[in-house]
């Protein structure tokens, strides 16, 4: 919706003023999508603190029709070298542009050299992470897209289980494809990332890629997957056991479930991200499995499946209402099997909103 994008650009202008920049050249495509709604593969955006009438969008001729529909509310120019074209435009309007920021975390050294030439007399200053700062906190429209993506993943998993998609004799790859097809059937526009389906001892590999390994009776099966809606991602991990769980399987499952609940309870505005990690981790450490939980607790989710904030011991910052994060502790017993349980949640005042609603009991099939 144009008013959403216009509101986001106004918020960015406030950040630019704080940073004493007259303008920002936005070159990251996801940041451009966030600020304009454009979904093509080549674009640049020059946001000027002077207002919408001095803010210019550029893409190339392939996107003439698409950009007219997606970005009806800004001046549009067509040029294959979109960032350089906007730099040249700023240079030609030297009265208005004396100093412009650029997204230094997304620009290569070669691109920087080309931009510097095109910007001419305009002073360029590094301005990393400004749009990402805005993207940290989701508005209700974004949360709705996340909710839809999570719902598609929930329904796909329910279908898979109901239709006997998890059974001895199937391969990890077959299960992964089945799950992905079911997500598409339930409205996902694509998979959020390469799905993880890991059976038996493979479940002890945190980021196992599905193989032709065959599911066998007694296996723990770990599935970490996500759907997308309107560019937003979901991320969920659930466990199934093929037949009655062995005592050790149930034991690590219960432990991870308790740690996951403790992590989710800590997801509140004002809480330090490192303390959320700690809340879940200390449950696992107390049970003597600390070394077998060798990754961070979670991450932000939005236009990227992994984005800020990082919920880890090394993470910096505090949560605030509207952030969308995962909580995904795991215990991995090499050579035997592992358990991870992962939800996507939205930070709210009071208690978090859970977006991934599939049961967190160990599913026995
Ligand atoms: Zn995941
Ligand atoms: Zn994740």
DSSP string, 234-280: --EEEEEESSSPPHHHHHHHHHHHHHHHHHHHT--TT-BHHHHHHHH
Please tell me the predicted confidence (pLDDT) of residue 96: 85
Nearest listed ligand to the Cα of residue 299 = 2
| Neighbour count for residue 117 (Cβ, 10 Å) | 12
Ligand nearest to the CA of 305: 2
- 341 alpha carbon – ligand 2 mean position (Å): 10
The C-alpha atoms of residue 277 and residue 294 are separated, in whole angstroms, by: 12
Residues 161 and 305 in one domain: yes
Give the Å distance between the CA of 5 and the centre of ligand 2.
Answer: 27
For residue 198, how many C-alpha atoms fall within 13 Å in the half-sphere facing its CB? 26
For residue 160, report the distance from its CA to the centre of ligand 1, in Å.
18
What one-character DSSP code corresponds to residue 298?
Answer: E
Say how many Å lie between the CA of residue 362 and the centre of ligand 1: 17
Alpha carbon of 233 to ligand 2 centroid (Å): 10
CATH number, position 50:
3.40.350.10
Q: Domain check: are 185 and 328 in the same one?
A: yes
Q: What CATH code is carried by the domain that includes residue 168?
A: 3.90.230.10
Ligand 2 mean position, distance from CA 73 (Å)? 35
State which residues form the domain around 358.
140-364
| 35, two tokens | 């600020």
316 and 329 part of one domain: yes
Q: Distance between CA 174 and CA 215 in Å, rounded? A: 10
Give the environment of ion ligand 1: residues with CB less than 5 A.
224, 235, 342
Residue 297 CA, ligand 1 centroid: distance in Å: 11
Provide CB contacts within 8 A for 251, sequence distance 6+.
none
Answer yes or no: do 128 and 150 share one domain: no
Indicate the number of domains in the chain.
2
Claim: this prediction has a pTM higher than 0.85: yes
Q: How far apart are CA 345 and CA 236, in angstroms?
A: 10
Copy the structure tokens of residue 237: 């991990």
> What is the CA(280)–ligand 1 centre distance, in A?
17
Contact residues for 4 (Cβ-Cβ < 8 A; gap 6+): 37, 139, 141
Using the mean position of ligand 1's atoms as its centre, give its distance from the Cα of residue 292 in Å.
Answer: 17
Ligand 2 centroid from CA 3, angstroms: 31
**CA 224 to centroid of ligand 2, rounded, Å:** 8
- d(CA 62, CA 40) in angstroms, rounded, equals 9
> 122 and 217 share a domain?
no
Do the Cβ atoms of 242 and 365 come closer than 8 Å? yes
Residues 247 and 216 in one domain: yes
Residues 194, 173 within the same domain: yes
- The number of the ligand nearest the C-alpha atom of 310 reads 2
> What integer pLDDT is reported at residue 193 of this predicted model?
96
| Rounded distance from Cα 296 to ligand 2 centre (Å) | 10
Residues 107, 177, single domain; the answer is: no
Query: Which of 70, 102, 135 is where one domain is finished?
Result: 135
Q: What is the pLDDT along the chain (365 residues), one digit of tens a residue?
A: 789 999 999 999 999 999 999 999 999 999 999 999 999 999 999 999 999 999 999 999 999 999 999 999 999 999 999 999 999 999 998 788 889 999 999 999 999 999 999 999 999 999 999 999 999 999 999 999 999 999 999 999 999 999 999 999 999 999 999 999 999 999 999 999 999 999 999 999 999 999 999 999 999 999 999 999 999 999 999 999 999 999 999 999 999 999 999 999 999 999 999 999 999 999 999 999 999 999 999 999 999 999 999 999 999 999 999 999 999 999 999 999 999 999 999 999 999 999 999 999 999 99
Q: Which ligand is nearest to the CA of 340?
A: 1
Residue 106 token pair: 């997304």
179 and 303 together in one domain: yes
Nearest of 204, 188, 207 to residue 196 by alpha carbon: 207
Residue 331 alpha carbon to ligand 1 centre in Å: 14
Q: Whose structure tokens read 């949360």?
A: 143
Q: Which ligand is nearest to the CA of 325?
A: 2
Q: Could you give the CA distance from residue 321 to residue 135 in angstroms, rounded to a whole number?
A: 13
Q: Identify the CA nearest to 328 among candidates 285, 288, 293.
A: 293
For residues 255 and 287, membership in a common domain is answered with: yes
Under 8 Å between Cβ of 280 and 304: no
276 C-alpha vs ligand 1 centroid, how far in Å? 17
Q: Which residues 6+ apart lie within 8 Å of 195 measured at CB?
A: 176, 179, 180, 210, 223, 224, 225, 226
In this structure, which ligand is nearest to the CA of 301? 2
Pull the structure tokens for residue 142.
Answer: 């974004």
- Are residues 348 and 306 part of one domain? yes
Is there a single domain that holds both residue 163 and residue 280? Answer: yes
CA of 37 to the centre of ligand 2 (A): 25
Q: Whole-angstrom Cα distance, residue 250 to residue 242?
A: 12
Ligand nearest to the CA of 311: 2
Distance 77 CA to ligand 1 centre (A): 39
Q: At what angle do helices 29-36 and 2-18 cross, to 10 degrees?
A: 120
Cβ-Cβ contacts under 8 Å for 69 (sequence gap 6 or more): none
Strands 196-199 and 123-126, how do they pair?
unpaired
Q: Where are the alpha helices (DSSP H) in the chain?
A: 2-18, 29-36, 64-70, 82-92, 109-119, 130-136, 140-162, 172-185, 247-265, 273-286
- Quote the ligand 2 centre to 277 CA distance (angstroms): 14
- Contact criterion met (CB below 8 Å) for 341 and 235: no
Q: Of 135, 164, 181, which closes a domain?
A: 135
Distance CA 196, CA 360 (A): 18
* Last residue in a domain, options 103, 135, 167: 135
Give the integer Cα–Cα distance in Å for 95 and 273: 44
3-state DSSP assignment of residue 127: coil
Closest-lying ligand to the alpha carbon of 296? 2
pLDDT per residue as tens digits for the range 261-300: 999 999 999 999 999 999 999 999 999 999 999 999 999 9
Q: How far, in Å, is the centroid of ligand 2 from the Cα of 345?
A: 11
The pLDDT value recorded for residue 95 is 83
């Amino acid at each position: 919706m144009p008013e959403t994008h216009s509101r986001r650009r106004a918020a960015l202008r406030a950040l630019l003023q704080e940073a004493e920049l007259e303008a920002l050249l936005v070159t990251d495509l996801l940041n451009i999508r966030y600020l304009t709604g454009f979904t093509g593969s080549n674009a640049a955006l020059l946001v000027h603190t002077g207002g919408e009438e001095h803010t210019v969008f550029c893409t190339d001729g392939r996107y003439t029709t698409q950009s007219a529909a997606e970005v009806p509310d800004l001046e549009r120019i067509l040029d294959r070298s979109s960032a350089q074209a906007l730099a040249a435009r700023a240079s030609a309007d030297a009265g208005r542009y004396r100093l412009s920021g650029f997204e230094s975390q997304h620009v290569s050294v070669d691109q920087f050299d080309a931009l510097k030439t095109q910007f001419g007399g305009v002073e360029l200053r590094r301005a990393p992470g400004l749009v990402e700062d805005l993207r940290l906190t989701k508005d209700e429209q974004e949360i709705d897209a996340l909710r839809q993506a999570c719902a598609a993943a929930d329904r796909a998993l329910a279908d898979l289980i109901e239709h006997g998609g998890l059974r001895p004799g199937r391969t990890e790859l077959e299960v992964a494809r089945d799950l992905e097809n079911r997500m598409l059937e339930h409205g996902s526009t694509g998979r959020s990332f390469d799905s993880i389906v890991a059976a038996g001892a493979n479940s002890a590999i945190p980021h196992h890629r599905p193989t032709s390994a065959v599911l066998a009776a007694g296996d723990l099966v770990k599935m970490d997957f996500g759907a997308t809606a309107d560019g937003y991602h979901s991320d969920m991990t659930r466990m199934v056991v093929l037949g009655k769980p062995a005592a050790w399987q149930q034991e690590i499952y219960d432990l991870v479930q308790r740690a996951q609940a403790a992590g989710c309870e800590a997801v509140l505005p004002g809480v330090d991200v490192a303390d959320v990690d700690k809340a879940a981790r200390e449950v696992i450490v107390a049970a003597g499995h600390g070394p077998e939980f060798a990754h961070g607790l979670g991450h932000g989710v939005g236009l990227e499946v992994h984005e800020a904030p990082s919920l880890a011991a090394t993470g910096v910052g505090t949560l605030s209402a509207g952030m969308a994060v995962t909580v995904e502790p795991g215990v991995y017993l090499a050579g035997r099997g592992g358990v991870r349980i992962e939800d996507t949640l939205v930070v709210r005042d009071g208690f978090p909103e859970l977006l991934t609603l599939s049961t967190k009991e160990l599913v026995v099939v």
